[in-house]
A and B are shown apart, each in its own frame.
Chain A
Amino acid sequence: MGMEFQKVSIDQGFDLYVAPTDKFKTTWLKLVLRRSLNADEHSLNAVLPFVLRRGTRRHPTARDIARCMEELYGAQFGADVGKIGETQQIELGASVADEQFLPERIGSTEKVVAFLAEALLDPALENGVFRAEYVTQEAEILRRRIESLINDRRRYAVNRLREEMCKDEPFGLNAYGDVEQLRRVTPEGLYEHYRHVLETSPVDMFVVGPVDPDEAAAMVRRHFRLPRGRIRQPGPVVVRTPGKERTVVEHRDVQQGVLVMGLRTGVRYPDDDYPALQVYNGILGAFPHSKLFVNVRERASLAYYTWSQLEGTKGVMMITAGIAVEKYRQALGIVREQLEAVAAGDVTDAELEQTKKGLINALLSGRDSPSRIMGSRLLGIINGRLRPVDEHIEELKAVTVEDVRRVAARVRPDTIYFLRSPEGNGPDAAPGPGAVR
């Protein structure tokens, strides 16, 4: 049933993963450079892919690049930065329609591979470093992007919770950098960092689509000459046990309050108990049949959305709900009741089975999505443990209520964050000690 990756070692610390399949009409490519997430370099790592996207020696402006992609029948080229646990990824990606579906054959797949190499290895330079205009502008755009998080109240609240809860841990850093550090990025400094990143980062390239693995490997070998030095694998994540629960309240001019609770799970992706943690999270809040949805939304009519989500690499769970400010205590009370219910093993057979089936359905559906196929392999690489879909399904099937209780006992609330308007009868300082903004 599989779409399995074939792994080809291209160079020291440079692996190619190809999943050949005829079911897609598109070939998807992704290049990932992995870095340790830390405050010394995360802002530089963040700007880098966006500057690389601005121009190459042969295509010096973004317009030249866009034109080149459009000529290849609307090939898509993108750059981004990501964060999984305490790894920061610098990513360049592309997708291109396979030629058998296009009006003419122009070698578009190889051209896209060649272009990715060009974008990574042959950037537009002036005076031997990145173009000052591109660096200044892209750093500024990132700064705004961070400031604009408030435009999406839920994402803003979740991000603020993460910052508060993991203040002294790399996980609290924003993958898009720090607004103050971004002001100070220079073309010289960034270029020096770029050379260092090329030499020391583990690099993974993923290809999914109607391609032959040997041909793909040959293309990559033809076009990529990565400078390789001493490769540094990102280190393990910081694991903390929570102390006393903290509450943080922030006032903004908003119509709806956003409640976020951050918890430490004790169990992480590489652990044997991770599938049990997923089932725990599913029973609690990952689905419309979950306890949070049923009790906060359907029974109490307090929210339109209420979910729990895992960040398994770090070992963190977050619960969110968009509520009226004056319903804060009631909503928080219901959330706590649900946490206690799962911990007490108050789980019906239907809840357990529905959750397992839902998780299995999501895993299998992931095989129809190129980005999820690539993403789950990357997750495995970063965690040092691959979970092939078939094995993962068997692990999920074997989870019992007792397993759920065992992992629930390790889950501990750490921080509560509430975004609210100044008006209304909600709590200013909700119960409990801690910073109040």
Chain B
Amino acid sequence: MAWQKDQDARLRDEVWRTWLDNGLGVFVMRKPGFHKRYAVFSTRYGSIDNRFRRHDRPDVIEVPDGIAHFLEHQLFEDESGHVFNAFADLGASVNAYTSHVMTSYLFSATDNFPQAFDRLLDFVQAPHFTEAGVQKEIGIIEQEIRMYQDQPRHRLWMNLLQALYHVHPVRIDIAGTPESIRRITADTLQLCYDTFYHPSNMAVFVVGDVDPDAVLQQVADDMAGRNYRFRPPVERLFDPEPESVAEARVEEKMAAARPLYALGFKDAEAVRAGEGGGEAAGRRAALEALRREVTASLALSAALGRSSALYQELYDADLIDDGFGARHQAGSNFGHTVMAGETRDPHELHDRLTAGLERLRRDGIPEGEIRRAQRQGVGEFVQMFDSLEFIANGFLFYHFKGTSLFEYMQVLEQVTPDEVNARFAEHLRPEAAAVSIVWPKS
């Protein structure tokens, strides 16, 4: 259990990392002077992992949509009462979230850190699924789903993902649907838990004014009592996803003040990288994926950032406002770029935005703009390191992708304008695009 220490020369922050025998990754970053200590316990299990095969069973297991998120809610149930109370007794604030690719449980505390950390380690590893608990949760999660269904931005986004993907489960709402969650049972939750909540699929990150050795000792002591046995990785199953988009355009009407517009581009290279089962094929593939992510983000920043000619043109034409933004997102076998915002005229915005992007694809983004985007990226990255939440969640996110948040920054500084332009031309192809529009219902 010796520490490996990664230091970033620029940030002068250091991440200590190690692996326990049972496969759990343990990470610590010291932040002297901070009052808050922040801990995250994550599993590489998200909403897209709804079909899989275990090493000990020949059959393909398919589970209801939204079950990873449902499971996250249900871990807060325990035999003695509610997990929230255990943290409240310590003055700690506990929470959790589920994404497409991971589930994270976290707390922050300015006092009683070791006790709260014990409780985090414990409640995530001590599930208590009952039919009564499941029934209670259905009502709550149905209201959560309806809350999201009432958000025009959420519908815009979900409709776009459904247009971009034919079969990949990233097109399904993380929380599932009111119908799918009714099919969830205590037994299925237990099966998913046993499959994905194994230390070899998990990691812990602690950041704040803490002693790394004490943190590691605490994790090791906790795990020593839990008898995990070695297990081969679970096989996550995905149907082959075509490179083409499923639909070029999706429109919907709902109560909204103004039209909302989103333009998405399916990332063919990211989809292709996942062929053959969807597992990241080692370190080289992970670094290639990171490079794809960084170059795509830089291209978007240079082409459509606040200082770009295209952004200014659209803003001056009153087609976009501050809420307009573009971002790239990718997992091991999916990836896309989304540009979205409110607009007075989705059709005019579409015409001018796509024309502008085509122009840049043909002529290339000027080198100076890309260099500026890199400078901006470096400075913004430094600023983010004042946030303990960003550090912990960011490191875990890239850890599960087989890279590191520090490497993101290093690649950001290394890539050349030619690479960024090549990526822009390859990724933002008109035939890889889909449009989502939400119209106000009068």
Q: Does B90 contact A (CB under 8 A)?
A: yes
Most buried by B among A62, A74, A75: A74
In the complex, what distance in Å separates the CA atom of A61 from the CA atom of B307? 10
Question: Known: A101-B12, A350-B85, A357-B88. Contact between A73 and B140, CB under 8 A?
Answer: no
Q: List, in ascending order, chain A residues with CB within 8 A of B32's CB.
A: 23
Q: List, in ascending order, chain A residues with CB within 8 A of B94's CB.
A: 288
Partner of B147, one of A69, A287, A304, A368: A304
A-contacting 9-mer, from B19-27, B187-195, B236-244, B252-260: B252-260
Most buried by A among B85, B91, B94, B143: B143
A304 and B141 contacting across the interface, CB-CB below 8 Å: yes
B143 and A357 contacting across the interface, CB-CB below 8 Å: no
Cβ < 8 Å to B, chain A residues 352-372: 353-354, 357-358, 360-362, 364-365, 367-368, 370
| B 217-251 binary contact with A (CB < 8 Å = 1; else 0) | 00000000000000000000000000000000000
Q: Does A14 contact B (CB under 8 A)?
A: no
Partner of A76, one of B151, B318, B383: B383
Question: Known: A62-B315, A365-B110. Contact between A70 and B376, CB under 8 A?
Answer: yes
A255 and B35 contacting across the interface, CB-CB below 8 Å: no
Q: List, in ascending order, chain B residues with CB within 8 A of A73's CB.
A: 375-376, 378-379, 382
In the complex, what distance in Å separates the CA atom of A103 from the CA atom of B382? 11
Partner of B321, one of A21, A25, A141: A141
Q: List, in ascending order, chain A residues with CB within 8 A of B379's CB.
A: 72-75, 96-97, 102
Q: Does A301 contact B (CB under 8 A)?
A: yes
Q: Does B385 contact A (CB under 8 A)?
A: yes
In the complex, what distance in Å separates the CA atom of A146 from the CA atom of B256? 12
In the complex, what distance in Å separates the CA atom of A362 from the CA atom of B93? 9
Nearest CB in chain A to that of B93: its residue: A361
Q: Does A12 contact B (CB under 8 A)?
A: no
| B 12-51 binary contact with A (CB < 8 Å = 1; else 0) | 1000000000000000000111111000000000000000
Partner of B258, one of A25, A144, A302: A144
Question: Known: A149-B257, A151-B257, A255-B149. Contact between A67 and B383, CB under 8 A?
Answer: no
| B 302-335 binary contact with A (CB < 8 Å = 1; else 0) | 0001111101100100100110000000000000
Q: Does B72 contact A (CB under 8 A)?
A: no
Partner of B34, one of A137, A152, A288, A368: A368
Cβ < 8 Å to B, chain A residues 378-416: none
Question: Known: A151-B256, A289-B85, A298-B82. Contact between A364 and B36, CB under 8 A?
Answer: yes
Q: Does B57 contact A (CB under 8 A)?
A: no
A25 and B11 contacting across the interface, CB-CB below 8 Å: yes
In the complex, what distance in Å separates the CA atom of A154 from the CA atom of B32? 38
Most buried by B among A97, A145, A289, A354: A97
Question: Known: A73-B376, A360-B91. Contact between A288 and B84, CB under 8 A?
Answer: yes
Q: List, in ascending order, chain A residues with CB within 8 A of B256's CB.
A: 148, 150-151
Query: Interface residues, chain B, CB within 8 Å of chain A?
Result: 10-12, 31-36, 82, 84-85, 88-94, 108-111, 136-141, 143-144, 146-147, 149-153, 254-258, 305-309, 311-312, 315, 318, 321-322, 342, 372-373, 375-380, 382-383, 385-386, 388, 441
Beyond the given pairs A151-B153, A364-B36, 15 more chain A to chain B contacts, judged by CB atoms under 8 angstroms and listed by A's residue number, are A25-B386, A67-B307, A74-B375, A96-B383, A101-B12, A141-B321, A150-B256, A151-B257, A253-B254, A255-B146, A255-B149, A304-B140, A304-B143, A354-B85, A365-B36
Some 21 contacts from A to B, beta carbons below 8 A apart, are A22-B33, A25-B383, A63-B307, A63-B308, A96-B379, A97-B380, A97-B383, A98-B382, A101-B382, A144-B257, A148-B342, A151-B152, A256-B143, A301-B140, A303-B143, A357-B89, A358-B88, A364-B35, A364-B110, A365-B36, A368-B35
